[in-house]
Amino acid sequence: MNAKEIYERLESVFREVFDDEDITLSPTTTAADIEDWDSIEHITLISAVEDEFKMRFTMGEVSGMKNVGEMADIIMERGK
């Protein structure tokens, strides 16, 4: 799985979770960039991403993610 595929799948998950078809992700996208991304929606988002990629993030990974790029990096690393 390459970065483009990961971002396409992540964008689909984000659009579904936040019910916003206009979301476009970049490596620097953070919660501050998406209106409804609060702590409650973060839990929903993490769960949806885990389901999409058939993986589980560790608590350390979840708490350490600062942006979408870091999330994609973890997914890419796990996909190897």
Q: What angle do CA 36, 38, 39 make, to 5 degrees?
A: 155
**Residue 15 burial class via C-beta count within 10 angstroms: exposed 0-12, middle 13-18, buried 19 and up:** middle
For the stretch 38-70, pLDDT in tens is 999 999 999 999 999 999 999 999 999 999 999
The whole-chain average pLDDT of the chain stands at 95
The model's pTM: 0.93
Residue 80 has pLDDT above 80, yes or no: no
CATH classification (class only), 3-78: mainly alpha
DSSP E strand boundaries for the chain:
none
What is the C-alpha to C-alpha distance for residues 32 and 51, in angstroms, rounded to an integer? 24
Tokens 């870091």, residue located: 70
